[in-house]
């Protein structure tokens, strides 16, 4: 029996980021996620998408990340896994790979 946990991947960039377009691309790739658009200040404005999904393995995250990298120029993302990890996605997938 697989156990699923909730995870959230947050991506952002200075230029406008179309979260609806991202949803279409991920859906076409067979990825089930809920995508919410957000704007943050860093202190400059960043446009972002917050992806929330259930995962059962690191491979689930790898699949999402590979698909995002195929379509977008992201170097990293923030990852939060309920009851566990909260930090750079790249450090979760491959420790010490993120400069965030």
Q: Each residue of 82-93: pLDDT tens digit? A: 988 999 999 999
Q: Each residue of 10-60: pLDDT tens digit? A: 999 999 999 999 999 999 999 999 999 999 998 999 999 999 999 999 999
Helices 58-71/19-28 angle, 10° precision: 120
Dig out the tokens for 16 from the structure: 């406008």
DSSP string for 18-51: -HHHHHHHHHHTT---EEEEEEEESSSEEEEEEE
Cβ(39)–Cβ(91) under 8 Å? no
- All domains of the chain in start order, with CATH: 5-93 (3.30.70.260)
């Amino acid at each position: 029996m697989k156990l699923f946990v909730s995870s959230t991947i947050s991506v952002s960039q200075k230029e406008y980021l179309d979260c609806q377009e991202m949803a279409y691309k991920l859906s076409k790739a067979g990825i089930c996620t809920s995508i919410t658009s957000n704007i943050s200040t860093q202190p400059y404005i960043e446009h972002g998408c917050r992806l929330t999904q259930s995962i059962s393995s690191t491979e689930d995250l790898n699949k999402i990340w590979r698909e995002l990298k195929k379509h977008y120029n992201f170097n990293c993302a923030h990852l939060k896994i309920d009851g566990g990890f909260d930090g750079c996605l790249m450090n979760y997938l491959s420790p010490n790979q993120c400069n965030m």
